[in-house]
């Protein structure tokens, strides 16, 4: 999908970054003074989610740029921080929670970057360990076609030695990173899935093979790499399919240069189900063996989750016995049965991931 309509909030129309984006997009734009009418107009279309993906709104972030990961008490959270640069995505994955998270979902890019860097500079000045990424409410790399924000972030993190930036994507938009001075303080990471899931559920994304080639190229440029198998979808033959992708990972990237691999099975809030049924009528991902989890999300029956986790972790361990593997939002029972230990046994999941970042990203101890 491509942006077909560009809207600029009147408060930011004179920002230099806005003028730069306008020149890069080279499409007609309109200046608006409030967003409610825009949202109502998008909501009135036949497919408001697709309509929202084709509209880019340049606006100001009136809240905090740095947020805590929205974990829940019932499941182990990684202690990740979110750098909130914008919302939604031009790609179209059936399982994407953002379809039901924004009302309606629309591509927004926050352009008050002076405020962003002031907040980030303050956080970095504390010289406290933290991991932060821009891929929670959007894809990290889709904005690089129009903005140099990623370049500025990589260069800013290169000047310090306490924390790491993670940029997560399903694209291969890596060209801006080739010549940057990064000092290994930026982790470039890719979301991965089985070929069957990619073909059926991930519209408009780069192929799995292309993502792995991009990771291989970025490793050659000196960047540390990470991968995220999330959401893992359980279906007949999925074990072999995920095993094949894991083998391809290690055929492309050195285990010693992978900071971490996360794994999480498909989970969703109940309100996402009718959206998937309407927008992806051929999708079968919502018809698995699900039960309500402690966080209100529908989750695979725990024995099914444990079985696929055990298989995937065992395959990873054959190639990289010491690589940091973690689960996204799972409980101690799952950790104990699959890993043989609890995160609390090793100081907590945040500590485990911080220590891996120190080893791979040349951070101060």
105: pLDDT strictly greater than 90: no
Condensed to tens digits (0 to 9), the pLDDT of residues 180-190 reads 999 999 999 99
Task: Return d(Cα 247, Cα 256) in angstroms, integer.
Answer: 15
Strand ranges across the sheet with 86-87 = 29-32, 5-9, 55-59, 107-110, 86-87
Confidence of residue 69 (pLDDT cuts 50, 70, 90): confident
Are 96 and 89 contacting, i.e. CB atoms less than 8 angstroms apart? yes
Task: Return d(Cα 127, Cα 3) in angstroms, integer.
Answer: 39
pLDDT value, residue 26: 84
3 state DSSP class of 107: strand
Partners of 225 in beta bridges: 188, 258
* Residue 294 DSSP one-character state: T
DSSP H helical ranges for 234-283: 238-252, 272-279
pTM exceeding 0.85: yes
- CATH architecture entry for 61-361: Alpha-Beta Horseshoe (3.80)
Confidence of residue 41 (pLDDT cuts 50, 70, 90): low
Q: Which of 335, 362, 360, 334 is nearest to 348 (CA)?
A: 335
Task: Return d(Cα 359, Cα 204) in angstroms, integer.
Answer: 35
CA angle 321–327–333, rounded 5-degree value: 100
* Residue 94 DSSP one-character state: T
**What average pLDDT does the structure give for the chain?**
94
CA torsion sign for 136, 138, 139, 145 is: negative
Are 191 and 150 contacting, i.e. CB atoms less than 8 angstroms apart? no
Q: Which two structure tokens, joined as six digits, stand for 301?
A: 């029956």
Average pLDDT over residues 269-284: 95
3 state DSSP class of 88: strand
pLDDT value, residue 106: 85
**Please, which residues have CB within 8 angstroms of residue 207's CB and are 6 or more apart in sequence?**
198
Query: Which carries the bigger pLDDT value, residue 60 or residue 102?
Result: 60
* Residue 183 DSSP one-character state: T
149: pLDDT strictly greater than 90: yes
HSE-up (13 A, CA, CB side) for residue 130? 19
pLDDT value, residue 101: 82
pLDDT value, residue 1: 61
Kind of pairing, strands 131-133 and 81-83?
parallel
Reported residue count of the chain is 365
**At residue 166, what are phi and psi to the nearest 5 degrees?**
-115, 125
Condensed to tens digits (0 to 9), the pLDDT of residues 286-326 reads 999 999 998 899 999 999 999 999 999 999 999 999 999 99
């Amino acid at each position: 999908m491509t942006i077909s309509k560009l809207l600029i909030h009147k408060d930011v129309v004179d920002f230099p970054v806005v003028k730069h984006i306008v020149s890069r997009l080279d499409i007609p734009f309109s200046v608006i003074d409030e967003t409610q009418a825009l949202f109502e107009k998008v909501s009135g279309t036949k497919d408001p989610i697709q309509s929202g993906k084709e509209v880019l709104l340049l606006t100001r972030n009136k809240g905090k740029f740095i947020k805590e990961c929205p974990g829940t008490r019932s499941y182990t959270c990684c202690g990740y921080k979110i750098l909130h640069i914008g919302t939604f995505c031009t790609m179209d994955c059936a399982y994407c929670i953002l379809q039901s998270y924004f009302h309606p979902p629309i591509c927004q890019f926050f352009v008050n970057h002076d405020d962003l860097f002031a907040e980030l500079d303050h956080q970095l000045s504390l010289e406290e360990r933290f991991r932060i990424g821009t891929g929670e409410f959007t894809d990290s790399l889709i904005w690089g076609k129009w903005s140099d924000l990623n370049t500025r972030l990589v260069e800013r993190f290169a000047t310090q030695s306490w924390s790491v930036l993670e940029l997560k994507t399903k694209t291969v938009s890596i060209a801006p990173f080739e010549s940057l001075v990064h000092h290994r303080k930026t982790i470039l990471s890719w979301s991965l899935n089985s070929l069957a899931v990619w073909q059926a559920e991930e519209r408009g994304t780069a192929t799995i093979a292309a993502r792995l080639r991009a990771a291989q190229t970025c490793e050659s440029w000196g960047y540390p790499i990470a991968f995220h198998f999330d959401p893992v979808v359980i279906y007949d033959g999925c074990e072999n399919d995920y095993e094949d992708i894991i083998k391809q990972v290690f055929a492309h990237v050195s285990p010693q240069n992978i900071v971490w691999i996360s794994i999480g099975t498909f989970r969703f809030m109940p309100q996402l189900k009718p959206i998937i049924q309407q927008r992806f009528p051929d999708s079968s991902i919502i018809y698995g063996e699900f039960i309500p989890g402690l966080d209100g999300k529908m989750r695979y029956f725990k024995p099914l989750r444990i079985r696929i986790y055990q298989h995937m972790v065992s395959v990873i361990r054959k190639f990289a016995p010491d690589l940091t593997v973690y689960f996204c939002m799972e409980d101690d029972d799952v950790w104990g049965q699959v890993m043989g230990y609890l995160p609390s046994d090793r100081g907590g999941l945040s500590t485990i991931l911080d220590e891996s970042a120190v080893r791979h990203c040349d951070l101060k101890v």
